[in-house]
Structure 1
C-alpha cells in the first residue's frame, strides 16, 4: 500500500470489498511474491553502494549496517536523505530511519517519521509508536490491546517476568532488542569482502577504457592491502553501479593466490571478451567497486638466479588456468587428480584445476621417483632435488596415456587359457599378434574380491593385462577378465587402450 492509500484511511489486511466501498476509484494489482522478491533483491544490490552489509527484512524491507560508513556521505542524516531521494526518483514509495538498533530503526521507519535517532534516545522515539512496531505477532498485539496496552510506552516500564509469563518470552526479547538492552545482529545477504576499494564519480563514466583504467587503479589499492596482510586473492568481484539503479557484477576466480593488479585486470578483460553483454553502461556508472571475496596466505617467493625456476613455470600454468577460467568459468577448467583405486579407469578423477595442489598431481611410474599413488607431501621436495643436467629420468610408460572408457570387448584366440592372445578382432578388423608382454595381474581388493563373487560383478574379477604388437607395428593394451576355472569358465577379452 502506498502513501495515497494510507491518506484515505486504508489499512493493510482489511477486506478488499470494504476498501473499495470506501474508495470506489481504488486501483488494485494482483500480488506477485516471486517478482516482488526479485525486485527486493535488485534494490538490495543497489544499496551495496552505501554498505556491503545489507540484509533482507521480510518481503518488503531492508536492513543496512552503516556503522563506519555514514561519514563518507556527510553523516547519517545526509546518508538517509540520499537513500530515500534516490529510491523515490526510481519510482518507489519508501520510508526509512537510522537508529542504534535494528528494532528501533524498523519501528520508526514503518510507524514514525523519517529521522535519525541518536544513541540513547531509543525509548523516546519508540514510546508513542504502536505495539506492532516491536515486530511481534498480530495475535500478541491484539491480546495486549484487549487489556488496554496500545503503545510501546505502555509496556516498556512494566516488569519483564509477568509480560513473559503471559505473552511469551518473544515479546520481552523484541522489546529489549529495540531499546538496545539486548543484542540484535543482522544477517547480511553476502559475506563481507576481505578487502574492498571503490571510486565514485560526479560525472558518470561508460567507456570500456575508462572502466579498465579505474579497475587497474583499484587493483593496485587492494594489492597493497593484500600485501600488508601477506595474502593473495582467490576470487575478485567488480561491481558497477549505474545511475539508474541497476548493478552489474563480474566475478573471476584464480587457481593460486594473486596479488598483481595487471593480472587482475587481464582476468576481467578475458571475462568481457567471452561475454560482451556483461557490460551495459546505459547512462553511465557513478560508482565502481573492486572487492576480494576470498583470500589465501601468500608469502613472497624467492626469485631464481639461474634462469626460469619452478615457481616461474608454475606461474605460467596458473595464468593459463586463470585466463581459461575467466572465459569459460573457473569450475569448468579441470585437471586429472590421482585416485587410489585398483582399476586403471578409476585411478583418476577430473577436478577443478583451481582446487588442485601441485604435489597431488603424481602417478606412480609416470614421473620420476615412486611418489606413491595419490598425493604425497614430499612430492614437491623430491622435484626440487632433481638434477638440472637431466639426471631426472622418466620411467618407461607401460600404459597408454589415454584409456578407452568403457573398455571395448574383443574376440581373442589364445594358445592356452591364461596365455597371451595370438590374434584378436576389434571393430570388425582382425589383428595378428607378433609380440606380447605380460601378464600384469590386477586383482580386486579383498573386500570385494571374495572367491564366491559373481562373475558379472566386474570390480570383483581379476584382470590380466597384456601389451601386444601386431604385424604392422600397432601396439594395444588388452586384458583378460576372470581367472580360468576359478572365477569363470569362459574368460572375456577387452581392449582398454592404444599406445601412441
Structure 2
C-alpha cells in the first residue's frame, strides 16, 4: 500500500502536522480589490495553429534533445488513444495514419495575438497569457452583457465559431482564473471566494517548475490547499520565494502584471449589431446617430475634450480593423469628428460584415463650453474654427508650421513643428534679414569680382549672367564645432540685388587664398 505522505526528518520540524489538517485561511486581498477577470485557455492551440487537417487525426510534436514528444492532439486523435506527452514514435505506432506536424511557436503566438484582438469586443483590457491563454479584465462588464456567465458563454461561443476549443473561468485575480481554466473545472468564483477555489486546485495548475512539482509531490503536497495549510516561512526556505509569490498572486495578496494589448481608453462607447454591417451607409448611420453623439455627450458631462480618437470595427467572422485620428485642439463636435472620419472610413473592409463598432477616446484634456466667444484657455471661436480646418487638411496631407531653432547655421535655423505646438523664439534669432525661401540644395554659381575679397559684380546662374547693381556683406558664418565635421569651411554671405530686381543670397564657402579655393553658392532668394 502506497504511503501518501512521507516527510524527511530535517523537514519534519519545518512543516508540522498532517497535510490538510490546518484550515485554509484566506489572505487579505491586496491586488486591486473588486476587479474581475475572465481567463480563456486554448488547450488545442498548437493543433489549431497548424492549419486545416482534412479528414485525418492531427498531432503536434516537439523535439526535446534526442526525443520527439507529442505536445498536443486533436479530438479525433484523443479518441483513438493518443495523448500529449507520448513519444512521437509510440503515437505513430498506435495510429499510423495520424498527421504529425512539428510545433510552430511563431504561428501559435500570431494566432494568440489575433484572438486577443478579437477579444477586445468584450472589454478594452485584454492581455495575452502565453502560450495558450488570454486574460480579460471584465470589471463592470457583467452588467453590459447581462451577467458574467453570459459574457463567458458568449466568448466561448465566439471561439467555437472560429474553430477553437476553449475553457474559461472567472475570478477576482487573473492567475486564479487562468489556473481554474487550465485545470478544467472553470466556473465563476464569487468575490471573496478565491482562497476556497484555489484550495481545490492541483499544484500543476499554478504552472510551477516541474522539478518543484516533483519535490512537492514527494512530500505529499498534491493540491494548493495543502500548501495553504503549511507555514509560509518554511515553504519559502525550502522551495524559494517563487512558490509563495504564485500563491499570493492567485489570492490577490500580490500584484500581477497585466500588459494589455491596447491602452485603456478614457471614454468608451460601443454598439453590437443584430445584423452585421456591410454597407458604408450603415456604418455612417451608426456613427452619426449613435456612437459619436453618445461619446461627445459623455465628454461634455465630464468637461473633457477629445485629442485622440480610435474607431474599432470587429468583423463577424473574427478579425479587427482600427482607424485612429488626432485633433490639433481638444474638441467634442460630432459633426467635425464625422468629417474627419469620412475619408478614413473608405479603408474599412467589412468582408462578411462588422458585428460590433467601438469608439475609444484614447486621450482627452479639460475643455469648457463656449461662453462669450471664448473657450477654456482663452481660445476664441475663430481659433476653434481654424483648428477644425487644419484637422480636416491633416487627414489628406502633412500639416506643419515653421519654428525657430537655436542655431546660426542657415539650414538649421528653422524646423517643422506641429501647427498647434507652442513656439519659443531663441534670443537674437531673426535680428538680421534672411530669405523667405532657402534652396533645398544650394546651387553652384560663377562670380566675377574686382578683387578676390570683393562682393560679386556679375553672377552666372542657370546659364544666364546677372548684373549686380548693389551688394551688402560679407556676413561670416563659422561652423558649429559641437555638431559639424572639423574640415567644414566657413561661409561669407552677401545680399545682392540684380539689374532685373532679383534679390539673392549668395555665399562664398572657404577662405580666399586657402586650399581648396573657395566656391560660390546661391542659397536663397528674398521676396
TM-score past 0.5 threshold: yes
1:457 aligns with 2:488: yes
Q: Which has the higher helix share?
A: 1
Residues 118-163 of structure 1 deviation map (CA, whole Å, 9 limit, x = unaligned): 2333344333432121122222222222333332233221111121
Native 8 Å contact 1:235 1:251 kept in 2:
yes
Distance in 2, matches of 1:238 and 1:438, equals 57
| 1:11 shift after superposition | 4.4
**What pairs with 1:2-151 in structure 2 (closer than 5 Å)?**
2-6=74-78, 10-151=82-223
Distance in 2, matches of 1:56 and 1:432, equals 73
1:347 aligns with 2:413: yes
Report what 2:523 is aligned to.
496
The 10-residue stretch of structure 1 (65-74 or 148-157) with the greater mean CA deviation from structure 2:
148-157
User: May I ask how many residue pairs the two structures share in their alignment?
Assistant: 451
Distance in 1, matches of 2:118 and 2:502, equals 64
The runs of 5 or more residues in structure 2 that have no matched partner are 1-71
Native 8 Å contact 2:479 2:488 kept in 1:
no
Distance in 2, matches of 1:314 and 1:109, equals 55
| 1:446 shift after superposition | 8.2
The runs of 5 or more residues in structure 1 that have no matched partner are 365-370, 375-394
**What pairs with 1:323-472 in structure 2 (closer than 5 Å)?**
323-328=392-397, 332-353=398-419, 356-357=421-422, 359-360=423-424, 373=429, 398-444=433-479, 456-458=487-489, 461=490, 463-472=491-500
Distance in 2, matches of 1:180 and 1:421, equals 81
Distance in 2, matches of 1:236 and 1:97, equals 32
Distance in 2, matches of 1:134 and 1:257, equals 47
Distance in 2, matches of 1:149 and 1:24, equals 39
Distance in 2, matches of 1:222 and 1:168, equals 50
| 1:37 shift after superposition | 1.9
Distance in 1, matches of 2:380 and 2:145, equals 45
| 1:92 shift after superposition | 0.6
Native 8 Å contact 1:242 1:281 kept in 2:
yes
- Residue 256 of structure 1 aligns to a residue whose secondary structure is strand
TM-score by length of structure 1 reads 0.81
Distance in 2, matches of 1:4 and 1:271, equals 46
Distance in 2, matches of 1:489 and 1:84, equals 77
Native 8 Å contact 2:308 2:361 kept in 1:
yes
- Structure 2 residue aligned with 1:281, among 339, 347, 350? 350
Report what 2:504 is aligned to.
476
Native 8 Å contact 1:253 1:325 kept in 2:
no
Distance in 1, matches of 2:82 and 2:326, equals 51
Native 8 Å contact 2:117 2:261 kept in 1:
no
Pick 1 or 2: higher relative contact order, CA cutoff 8 A, min separation 6: 2
Distance in 2, matches of 1:11 and 1:136, equals 21
- Structure 2 residue aligned with 1:239, among 307, 312, 317? 312
- Residue 127 of structure 2 aligns to a residue whose secondary structure is strand
- Residue 96 of structure 1 aligns to a residue whose secondary structure is strand
1:224 aligns with 2:270: no
**What pairs with 1:303-322 in structure 2 (closer than 5 Å)?**
304=373, 311-322=380-391
Residues 166-204 of structure 1 deviation map (CA, whole Å, 9 limit, x = unaligned): 211111110122233333352212211011111222233
Native 8 Å contact 1:177 1:183 kept in 2:
yes
- Residue 395 of structure 2 aligns to a residue whose secondary structure is helix
Distance in 2, matches of 1:319 and 1:230, equals 19
Native 8 Å contact 1:270 1:323 kept in 2:
no
Distance in 2, matches of 1:79 and 1:115, equals 12
The 10-residue stretch of structure 1 (79-88 or 219-228) with the greater mean CA deviation from structure 2:
219-228
- Residue 249 of structure 1 aligns to a residue whose secondary structure is strand
Distance in 1, matches of 2:481 and 2:270, equals 60
Distance in 2, matches of 1:304 and 1:109, equals 58
Report what 1:380 is aligned to.
none
| 1:5 shift after superposition | 4.7
Q: CA RMSD in A?
A: 3.0
Aligned pair in 2 of structure 1 residues 285, 349: CA closer, same or farther (>3 Å)? Answer: same
The 10-residue stretch of structure 1 (218-227 or 188-197) with the greater mean CA deviation from structure 2:
218-227
Aligned pair in 2 of structure 1 residues 165, 425: CA closer, same or farther (>3 Å)? Answer: same
Aligned pair in 2 of structure 1 residues 8, 134: CA closer, same or farther (>3 Å)? Answer: farther
Native 8 Å contact 2:116 2:134 kept in 1:
yes
Distance in 1, matches of 2:371 and 2:512, equals 59
Native 8 Å contact 2:409 2:480 kept in 1:
no
Distance in 1, matches of 2:253 and 2:469, equals 89
- Residue 97 of structure 1 aligns to a residue whose secondary structure is strand
Native 8 Å contact 1:271 1:327 kept in 2:
no
Native 8 Å contact 1:193 1:294 kept in 2:
yes
